[in-house]
Amino acid sequence: MKKFSLLTLLILYSSMLALGAGTAFAASGLIDSSSVQANVTNQNPDAARPGEPVELTVSVQNVGSNDLKNINVAIQPQYPFSKVSGESLEKQVPYLNARQEDNDAAALKFKLMTDPNASEGTYDLHIITTAREDGSSSKTVKTTKTIQLEVRGKEYAQIVTINKANIDLAKEEPLEFIITNTGNSPLKNMVISWKDPKGVILPVYSDNTKYVKYLEPEDSVTVAYSVMADVNANPGLYTLDVNLSFEDYGSNEKSIQTTAGLFVGGETDFDVSFSESDPGEISLSVANVGNNMAYSVKVSVPEQEDFRVTGSSSSIVGNLEKGDYTIASFNVASSQAADKKETPGTAKADEVIAEGNKGSVSTASPPLKVQIEYTDARGERITVDKAVAVQMASSAATGTESGQRARSSNSLSSYAPDLILVIIVAGAGLFIYRRKRQARSEKKSGNRGTEDQKYDSGVTRD
């Protein structure tokens, strides 16, 4: 009997404790007769991507002790999420029984759009549920659940620029690709390669592949190559196929293919040398020493201080193949010689005589400025300036003749009186000589006539 009474007291005491605890929990709000739980049970993709939609599966479960009806579930998006056109942000569930198991929960799907410029990170999203109790009280039950969604930056790289648009034939030149991470996530283990399908442009000193281990968003990296074009290639535009591969957030390999254009050929170079010189004229040898053909070549002697051109100052020589040459002639005189020219006289004649005696045929001159204009393989007009060392002819023969004439003139002027006297004496002597010779001739003729008469009259000489 006592045992029974003690057992009864323990049961009554336990019931009182449980009742008190339940009252306390009820007062604190931890236990409610009407309660709805909302959870995200699935997300596709696992992390939202900037500029792409994300789909959420929301589980709605009645964990209260009262049945609920007219349950409304709403998604309240915040940046970087927004409503997708044609998709509703509210869904309804007609009825939820009390004390539901997980398998009995209602599943609702919502779709949101992620802002294209969203940065990588986690963002809050609110799920709001409202429902009414199924009973005489018709109490409204409202709950708010805040969840966090992960946004993963978009991995994307772009080849922004190439440092040049053309390269020369058979000439080693640098070629640089500037690659920029235009996405929102870092790029890892990047591999950059390129190829000319025609095999005209090839890398030298290395292969066509470069590696970049890591590249932050909005950062750029320069990938440099040394390239050379085949010397026998035809000038023109060639295609480079560029491939860029990298690892994404999930270590999956992705690649980007693009193309770039590179012009091969273009400018050339010339060698201009002095060929020959006649008085008042020079000839220049113009050779195409580059690797490209030069079209519509024009050789000109521009205005300059040390030389003067008479007649045409330009000569069109046409097209010049690489390695070919031509001759261009111009009437060129030294400006200094023209400025120092004096009126002919004794002093000047003496200078010419001295120059003639030295036997000089040419004089050193300052370099002659020459311009070469041509059209390159790209159709652009190019001008090349050259300075050519020339030897101007000094008119040696002309100087000698002038010296002789001057010397003769000076001699006549100096010895004119003596020469006249000699001429007079010689003339007088010649006159006297002729008179004496004539007299002797006449005397001999008279004697011969007398003898002939005697012979005819018969007189005989003993």
pLDDT in tens, 69-121: 889 999 998 999 999 999 999 999 999 888 888 788 899 999 999 998 888 88
The pLDDT of residue 311 is 92
Contacts of 134 (CB under 8 A, 6+ apart): 66, 67, 68, 69, 95
* C-alpha closest to that of 295 among 382, 165, 234: 382
Residue 171 has pLDDT above 70, yes or no: yes
The answer to whether domain 28-151 and domain 157-264 are alike in fold is yes
Q: From CA 155, how far away is CA 255, in angstroms rounded? A: 11
Contacts of 359 (CB under 8 A, 6+ apart): 396
Residue 2 has pLDDT above 50, yes or no: no
Of the pLDDT bands very low, low, confident and very high (cuts 50, 70, 90), residue 202 is: very high
Q: List Cβ<8 Å contacts ≥24 apart for 171-176.
A: 171/228, 171/229, 171/291, 172/204, 172/226, 172/227, 172/228, 173/226, 173/227, 173/228, 174/224, 174/225, 174/226, 174/227, 175/224, 175/225, 175/226, 175/227, 175/262, 176/222, 176/223, 176/224, 176/225
The pLDDT of residue 262 is 93
Residue 153 has pLDDT above 80, yes or no: no
Do residues 187 and 159 lie in contact, with contact meaning Cβ atoms separated by under 8 Å?
Answer: no
Q: Which CATH class is domain 270-408?
A: mainly beta
Give the number of C-alpha atoms closer than 13 A to the C-alpha of residue 203, restricted to the C-beta side. 15
Average pLDDT of span 25-34: 46
The CATH code of domain 28-151 reads 2.60.40.10
The pLDDT of residue 445 is 57
The pLDDT of residue 320 is 95
The CATH H-level superfamily of 157-264 is Immunoglobulins (2.60.40.10)
Do residues 301 and 368 lie in contact, with contact meaning Cβ atoms separated by under 8 Å?
Answer: yes
Q: Where are the domains of the chain?
A: 28-151, 157-264, 270-408
Angle at 26 between CA 20 and CA 29, to 5 degrees: 145
Q: From CA 193, how far away is CA 224, in angstroms rounded? A: 11
Taking the model in full, what pTM does it have? 0.53
Q: From CA 403, how far away is CA 55, in angstroms rounded? A: 110
Q: Which amino acid is at 193?
A: S
Average pLDDT of span 139-155: 86
